[in-house]
Amino acid sequence: MTAEWRKNEQPGALAEEALLLVRRAPAAAWAGYLACSVPFVLALLYFWTDMSRGAQAYERCAPAALGLAALFIAMKTGQAYFTALLLDTLAQRTRPWSLRRVLRMAAVQGAMQPWSLFVLPVALLLLYPFVPVHGFFQAWTAFGDGETANLKQIRGRAWSLAMQDLRPQAFTLWLASPWLLGAGMAAAFGTVRMMELIASGGAVHNAEWFGIGAVLFTLFAGLLSPLGFALTVNIGILFATIPALLRIFLGWETLFSISGFYALTNTTFLAALFGVAYLCMDPVMKAAYALRAFRAESRHNGRDILVAIRDMRDAREAAP
Amino acid sequence: MPMNALRDRRCFHHPHREAVARCPECRRFYCRECAVEHDSRLLCADCLARTRADGTARRPSWPWHLPLRLLTGLVGLWFLFYVMGRALLLMPTAFHEGGRTAAPTAETGGP
């Protein structure tokens, strides 16, 4: 084992390198990621708002759920494309893309990723298996890039990667996983609602409930996902400030500026916060698993050595 | 592979070299240079080439069960989102709207 490998075993090194890789991601990767992920997040927000407020929403529930399911698979396909391009960036290679490969990638992702929404919440409740199970689905995104449709082979490689180096995986997950942020937000919100029910309303003022909620959110989300917590607070301040600025400078009254305090305490606002935070945090997780997949592949084909030699040659040629 | 099985064994291609691995495909013994790691297994070069050739020739680009699995995943997701939607519908408005449950009164600092 070389010194480079030992360095990479430090828990923080993987997250740090993932952030650097995200900054190096090509424009095509971002285009693919956002084009497939943003529609799902927007559709989920619309679905959430409609189901929580729409008078005739129950009539639309089944078709809307089907549309959401299709958009989820499209999102996972876009994320697999993003990860494949990150892998190509690391390996300094270009692989051809065809419609057939994209369809194969969508089928491979659609065959496994839907089950992540069933399995991951259970694994999160049990705590211990969450790291490898989460790692398995991330590795599936990396390996299910449409090069092969052999699910058994992809499963074997993904599971092998998920079971290696659990400590750096756990640290990256703690730092950048939207799942832990979502768990923290849900725990804080659920606790406040339960306290409200116990107090049976009227005894405590709304602003005090908001304060209690903020403290609980800091406690739960701050502990479970520190990066996600900081990100969510920033996005929340942005969301709360924009309507006020529009009203002050342009005189535009929006639903948010009219609602005032109530705009911040409903479930749709929290879902919107989580949706934007997810779009910011998930690429870092994808980059972390692209790095891990590249290193695992390099143990077999020595690609990292070839890349290092090419970098050295380029640096020597560029030197005066 | 127990060490006893490798003791006194020689490479199939290089009889003067001691064996370090046994190919799980052809069951022959090989030295350090003849054994290759592939898919977490130590194979000899001939079996590796045969495995790759078989894999390329036999592997269908679309396994028959893949569309079925995709459809199962889609139906599973549909069910999950449908249940989520129904749960959201069942929740009272007060749950979604937050602080409205505690309407301000004269006692709690309201008008």
> Is residue B110 in some structural domain?
no
The pLDDT value recorded for residue A120 is 93
The pLDDT value recorded for residue B106 is 42
Residue type, A213: G
A73, A118, A267 ranked by CB distance to B74: nearest = A73
Contacts of range A294-297, beta carbons closer than 8 Å, 24 or more positions apart: A294/A87, A294/A90, A294/A91, A295/A8, A296/A157, A296/A160, A296/A161, A296/A164, A297/A91
Dist. CA B67–CA A149, nearest whole Å: 11
Q: What is the span of the domain harbouring residue B70? A: 65-98
Residue B101 touches chain A, beta carbons under 8 Å: yes
| Confidence grade of residue B93 (pLDDT, cut at 50, 70, 90) | confident
Q: Mutate which of B36, B54, B81, B105 to test chain A, going by most A C-beta atoms within 10 A?
A: B81
Q: How many domains does chain B have?
A: 2
Same structural domain, B93 and B74: yes
B37, B39, B102 ranked by CB distance to A201: nearest = B102
Residues of B in Cβ contact (< 8 Å) with A106? 70
Q: Give yes or no for a contact between A224 and A184, defined as CB atoms under 8 angstroms apart.
A: yes
> Is residue B103 in some structural domain?
no
Q: What percent of chain A has pLDDT over 90?
A: 43
For residue A45, the SS3 value is: helix
Residue A301 touches chain B, beta carbons under 8 Å: no
Residue A191 touches chain B, beta carbons under 8 Å: no
> Is residue B104 in some structural domain?
no
Dist. CA A142–CA A165, nearest whole Å: 17
Burial class (CB within 10 angstroms; exposed 0-12, middle 13-18, buried 19+) of B14: middle
| Confidence grade of residue A314 (pLDDT, cut at 50, 70, 90) | confident
The pLDDT value recorded for residue A292 is 92
Residues of A in Cβ contact (< 8 Å) with B98? 206, 209, 262, 265-267
> Is residue B107 in some structural domain?
no
Residues of B in Cβ contact (< 8 Å) with A64? 81, 85
> Is residue B19 in some structural domain?
yes
Same structural domain, B49 and B20: yes
Same structural domain, B50 and B79: no
Q: Which residue has the tokens 């991601």?
A: A25
Residues 6+ apart with CB under 8 A from A42: A275
Residues of B in Cβ contact (< 8 Å) with A62? 78, 82
Asked whether the beta carbons of residue A117 and residue B80 sit closer than 8 angstroms, the reply is yes
> Is residue B108 in some structural domain?
no
Same structural domain, B37 and B73: no
User: Which structure tokens are listed for A54?
Assistant: 């729409």
Average pLDDT of the segment spanning B4-8: 66
Model's pTM, two decimal places?
0.79
User: Which structure tokens are listed for B7?
Assistant: 């003791």
Dist. CA B99–CA A206, nearest whole Å: 5
> Is residue B109 in some structural domain?
no
What pLDDT digit, counting tens, does each position of A201-255 carry?
555 566 777 788 888 888 888 888 888 899 999 998 888 888 888 888 888 887 7
Dist. CA A112–CA A109, nearest whole Å: 6
Q: Give yes or no for a contact between B11 and B42, defined as CB atoms under 8 angstroms apart.
A: no
**Among candidate residues A136, A133, A141, A123, the one with its CA nearest the CA of residue A83:** A141
What pLDDT digit, counting tens, does each position of A291-312 carry?
999 998 888 778 888 888 888 8
Residue A149 touches chain B, beta carbons under 8 Å: yes
Q: What is the CA radius of gyration of chain B?
A: 32
For residue A249, the 8-state DSSP code is I
Dist. CA A143–CA A183, nearest whole Å: 27
A48, A72, A107 ranked by CB distance to B66: nearest = A107
Residue B2 touches chain A, beta carbons under 8 Å: no
The pLDDT value recorded for residue B111 is 37
| Confidence grade of residue B56 (pLDDT, cut at 50, 70, 90) | low
Same structural domain, B37 and B77: no
Residue B4 touches chain A, beta carbons under 8 Å: no
Same structural domain, B78 and B37: no
The pLDDT value recorded for residue B101 is 45
Highest mean pLDDT among A9-18, A27-36, A209-218: A27-36
CA angle, A138 as apex, A135 and A139 as ends, to 5°? 85
| Max CA pair span of chain A | 76
Residues of A in Cβ contact (< 8 Å) with B104? 205-206
| Confidence grade of residue A3 (pLDDT, cut at 50, 70, 90) | very low
B39, B86, B93 ranked by CB distance to A61: nearest = B86
Q: Which of residues 215-254 of A touch B (CB under 8 A)?
A: none
Residue B59 touches chain A, beta carbons under 8 Å: yes
Residues 6+ apart with CB under 8 A from A241: none
